[in-house]
């Protein structure tokens, strides 16, 4: 699932290539992912000019000269391609936009779980999840973070991946953030000290600052980055040695979610400076 580093890298890639370019052709290929009728989608996009691509949580927002915004929530398996039109399309290609610079921007989704919306700029809150999303995880201030976290109880990893708490954190980077902060993923939020909460907030920015350039460096000219996350320190590294202390990294699977952590660096019973 794309998380903030992936989406920020995609956003940066597209903003180097798309602003000011016209959409010459809009193809509506797999209807199940669209939340707008085909006729409205094609009529609004064709002839429109692309502006800046922005991000809100796990949504990418494509600004259009007409005042509309194309909003894409890639969900679990949605991915983008930026290729020449002659490039063979994947069978799961849901949308293809012919761009005036001679390329196609494609969105494909092997599981067809993603969602494509088209709304007027002032009506973004009508997009499902927008109205109840918490602050963006990479933009939230320490003061906002400390105040907002008081509203949530339960295990801290479950809170981190809850979009109502913060927008943009998923399973992989929640493991990395908790490892950086030295906080056990199954700690109850109510058991955490103020110092640990401050450390957790700092870890979010530190992990995203570190990971985003790495993801961006892996992107090829067709926007393909092959979902490589082998550079992560702990996620999906169950059984390997912890890069800090050498302890075997633990792996627990619950509810179809894999959680990795170090029992030494992330003690279950409290803070380690």
Q: Where are the domains of the chain?
A: 4-126, 142-261
Res. 270: pLDDT tops 90 = no
Contacts with 209 (C-beta within 8 Å, 6 or more apart), sequence order: none
Looking only at the bridges linking them, the beta strands covering 93-99 and 68-73 are unpaired
In terms of Cα–Cα distance, which of 180, 198, 196 is closest to 188? 196
The answer to whether residues 79 and 108 touch, using CB atoms and an 8 Å cutoff, is yes
Per-residue pLDDT of 204-217, as tens digits, reads: 999 999 999 999 99
Pick the CATH number of 142-261 from 2.60.34.10, 1.10.8.50, 1.20.1560.10, 1.10.10.60: 1.10.8.50
pTM for this prediction: 0.94
Q: What is the mean pLDDT of the chain?
A: 95
Per-residue pLDDT of 35-94, as tens digits, reads: 999 999 999 999 999 999 999 999 999 999 999 999 999 998 999 999 999 999 999 999
- What class is the 4-126 domain? alpha beta
Res. 259: pLDDT tops 90 = yes
The helix-helix angle for 194-218 and 142-149 (nearest 10°) equals 120
d(CA 99, CA 273): 52
- CB atoms closer than 10 angstroms to residue 37: 12
């Amino acid at each position: 699932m794309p998380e903030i580093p992936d989406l920020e890298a995609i956003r940066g890639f597209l903003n180097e290539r798309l602003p000011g370019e016209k959409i010459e052709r809009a193809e509506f290929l797999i209807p199940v992912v669209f939340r707008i009728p085909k006729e409205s989608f094609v009529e609004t996009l064709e002839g429109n000019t692309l502006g800046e691509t922005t991000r809100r949580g796990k949504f990418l927002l494509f600004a259009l000269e007409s005042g509309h915004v194309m909003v894409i929530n890639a969900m679990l398996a949605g991915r983008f391609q930026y290729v020449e039109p002659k490039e063979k399309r994947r069978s799961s290609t849901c949308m293809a936009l012919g761009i005036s610079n001679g390329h196609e921007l494609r969105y494909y989704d092997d599981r067809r779980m993603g969602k494509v919306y088209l709304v007027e700029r002032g009506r973004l809150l009508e997009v499902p999840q927008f109205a109840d999303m918490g602050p963006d995880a990479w933009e939230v201030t320490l003061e906002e973070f400390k105040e907002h976290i008081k509203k949530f109880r339960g295990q801290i990893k479950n809170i981190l991946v809850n979009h109502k708490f913060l927008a943009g954190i998923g399973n992989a980077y929640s493991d990395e953030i908790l490892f950086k902060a030295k906080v056990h993923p199954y700690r109850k939020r109510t058991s955490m000290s103020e110092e640990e909460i401050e450390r957790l907030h700092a870890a979010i920015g530190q992990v995203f600052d570190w990971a985003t350039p790495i993801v961006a460096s892996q992107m090829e000219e067709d926007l393909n980055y092959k979902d490589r996350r082998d550079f992560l320190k702990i996620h999906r590294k169950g059984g390997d040695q912890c890069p800090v202390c050498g302890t075997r990294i633990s792996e627990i699977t619950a509810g179809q979610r894999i959680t990795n952590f170090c029992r030494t660096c992330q003690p279950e019973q409290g803070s380690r400076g």
